[in-house]
Structure 1
Amino acid sequence: MPDTATQLLPPSAYFNTDWYEREQLHLFSRTWRYAGTIDDLKTPGSYRSTQVGRHPLVVVRGKDGELRAFHNVCRHRGTAVLSGSGVVDKQIVCPYHNWTYGLDGCLLAVTQRNEVDRHLDRSTLGLHPASVAVWRGLVFVHPDPEPEPLTGWLADLPDRMPPYDPEQLAEVMAPQRYDIKANWKVFMENALDNYHLGYVHKDTLVGYDHKRQEQYACGERHWFFYEPPLKPGELTPMEAGLKPIATEPRWYGSAFGLFFPNLFVLSSAVMWSSIEVIPTGPETTTFEMRTRFMPGQNGKLAVAGLKAAVGGLTRRLLRKQRRYDLIEEDVFCCEAVQVGIKSPLFSVGPIAYRYERGIQAFQRNVLDYVPLETGR
């Protein structure tokens, strides 16, 4: 890639309804997507539903202990057979007409079968299969029953990531959810924009050396970022008092992996987080953050540490009296970009290649799935 970076996506990609629908159909429906953690699916009968582009899917732990993914669509009238997450007892019963499926997806029973078709062949009417795979305790799903294997899809990104095992860490607080008045790509690009770290977050990301950051493309789709602490091999002030996960000085600092299209795995010396960025409309996004720490330390201290790492230190923006934490700072910037991007005069000027080149790589990947339409 040359030492230049330019804006590849048109402004309409960030607010146009047709573009949003094409993303759902051609991008999110054709890629591996995060669906939770292995801890969400511990026991036989446990399940977790998720929306993958235009495909409602559900992951189920079978009686044999295996994870399976299905299209969450009853073969009778198309009703979602399971909603949210939870545990079912030995079988899946559609809430509409009580067609009953096994945890392996096979159709077991049809109510008033003679009224439907006394010769009905149940073996042809099981739930449509999808794909499921696990990486370090993270569960991924794909609508296609035979997609590219997850290991191939991730390329060398796992090799870049810190060698943490989230299954050995403790999730000591409920997931944090944030709603943003901005397109999902605005948030993704903000996370890949490392030019702003020393300015927007100058008080909330203290202790990191923003000028010594490293960035790498991983395979064709993914991205890895790392920046060391100002004092090599030491905890930052916001991490003080927490038990380190890192066993090597290399992993003191801040790192994240972008699992294209919409998952970040963020880590520091003391914590590990998954951040799923969920498009909810052309100009709205929800993201969910789940964070883990080393077990064996005071839960309140770990939560306090997260609040410090995410936003315990505060700053004022635009001379307002309101104080913002780290995530609120990013939300503020994303929503401000969303306002500006609809202006007839919107354009992107010269880009700081060293700090912002990940944005161009991300946009190129989006265009691979949702190409520009000529003549429009």
Structure 2
Amino acid sequence: MTQVLPPATYFEPGWFDREQLELFGRTWRYAGATGDFEKPGSYRSVQVGRHPLVVVRGHDGELRAFHNVCRHRGTAVLPGDGKVTKHIVCPYHNWTYGLDGCLLAVPQRREVDPDLDRAKLGLHPAAVALWRGLVFVHPDPDPEPLADWLGDLTERVAPYDPERLAEIVPAQRYDLRCNWKVFMENALDNYHLGYVHKDSLIGYDHKRQEQHPCGRRHWFFYEPPLKPGRLTPTDLETGLKPVAEEPRWYGSAFGLVFPNLFVLTSAVGWSSIEVLPTGPETTTIEIRVRALPGQTTRMALGLIKATAKRVLRRQPALDLIQEDVYCCEAVQVGIRSPRFSVGPIAYRYERGIQAFQRNVLDYVPLEA
């Protein structure tokens, strides 16, 4: 059997809802970079499955995560991203919390409950952890430690320090008309690289690629340049200085942090690519790119363009249907056909897809 997930799991609203609760609500989720929380009071709100969470930098410098749910009527206390000066004030009834989540004040307290115990009504805690300057959150306040969750993926990804790099252009977002898993599987499908991307990825040696399962859930991919020890044309066109100190990383590599984050490295940059399910058949991709500091925005935009080619295979000059986007959206149409099926796979190049599908089923079993 080559296709583990039934077609309906790619478009049924009921399955999408189960994924939000049973998969995304039970795994670590990327919440931004440490640079997003530079000053006390800096915060980002993040939807983790059905759990609205918020990450806040405290006055003591510590990062903390909470369920973004006021203890009075459930209002999101900190919608969006931004900075608060001293306290967290619910916009509905002005219940006030400290940056440590403790309930500090209740307006008209006697009207609400003269014997109210503020110590029992702080914001519900969630877990927060860091890896290489990336911030992760989990709805459970005491989950499996992030380091254990990542396993040996941390040893395979290029040894760059993202905190030493600069993010000098805004995040780039792309909307796709396909289920999030279709995009994930496309990114794990290395059979198509020499065909769909024969021009945009011309500088890479597809036949010498490496793939490795990491930990229990994750995946690592590396593809060297055609000319060993040389920058690829894709990296040369950016004009950026190499981040890599070893020619080993003069190629394209990514680590999949299950279920929906890719960490992509090239010789000249580090990128995070988050795949955000927005509906049963819609997905948003957010790309954030870092390069050595002190370089121009024009160069950074060149890296964005090169990154998009590797991740979305985007052709900015056309601004029409991109290579991978076209394939993903075409697959989404085919999946709805009563005649849909998946034939024999290219085991060496597509085995990551089956591993990904089995991981999804471990959280969202078919028999439920």
Tell me the TM-score range normalised by the shorter chain.
Answer: over 0.9
Structure 2 residue runs of 5 or longer lacking an equivalent are none
Alignment check: 8 A CA contact 1:204 1:310 kept: no
Write out per-residue CA displacement over residues 240-270 of structure 1, whole angstroms, 9 at most, x where no aligned residue: 1320000001111000000000000011001
Distance 2:221 2:118 in 1: 50
Q: How many aligned residue pairs are there? A: 364
- Corresponding residue to 1:145 among 141, 145, 149: 141
* Contact 2:58–2:64, Cα closer than 8 Å, also in 1: yes
Q: Structure 1, unaligned stretches of length 5 or more?
A: none
Structure 1 partner of 2:286: 288
Q: Quick check: 1:310–1:325 contact (8 Å CA) kept in 2?
A: no
Match of 1:274 among 272, 275, 279: 272
Match of 1:68, SS? strand
Aligned position for 2:216: 220
1:275 maps to a residue whose letter is I
Alpha-carbon distance, 1:301 to partner? 2.1
2:235 is matched with which residue: 235, 239, 242?
239
What's the Cα RMSD here?
1.9
Structure 1 CA distance for aligned equivalents of residues 284 and 152 of structure 2: 28
Find 2:82's aligned residue among 81, 86, 89: 86
SS of residue paired to 2:55:
strand
Output the CA distance in 2 between the equivalents of 1:287 and 1:327.
15
- Looking at structure 1, the residues matched to 306 and 28 of structure 2 have their Cα atoms a distance apart, in angstroms, of 33
Identity %: 76
Match of 1:371 in 2: 365
Alignment of 1:14-33 (within 5 A): 14-33=10-29
Distance in 1 (alpha carbons) for counterparts of 2:95 and 2:154: 41
User: How far apart are 1:308 and its partner, in Å?
Assistant: 4.0
Moved more, 90-99 or 328-337: 328-337
Shift of 1:331: 0.9
For 1:71, the aligned partner's letter is H
* Partners of 2:97 and 2:104 within 8 A in 1: yes
Would you say the 8 A contact 1:204–1:309 is kept in 2? Answer: no
Residue matched to 2:95: 99
TM-score by length of 1: 0.94
- Which residue, out of 248, 251, 255, partners 2:249? 251
Could you tell me how far apart the structure 1 residues matched to 2:58 and 2:192 are?
46
- How is 1:31-70 mapped onto 2 (pairs within 5 angstroms)? 31-70=27-66
Question: Which piece of structure 1 moves more, 92-101 or 17-26?
Answer: 17-26
Secondary structure of 1:58's partner? strand
Q: Distance in 1 between the 2:216 and 2:309 partners?
A: 33
Q: For residue 168 of structure 2, what is the amino acid of its counterpart?
A: V
CA, structure 1 residues 221+324, in 2 after alignment: closer, same or farther (shift >3 Å)?
A: farther
Match of 1:12 among 5, 8, 28: 8
Amino acid of the structure 2 residue aligned with 1:84:
G
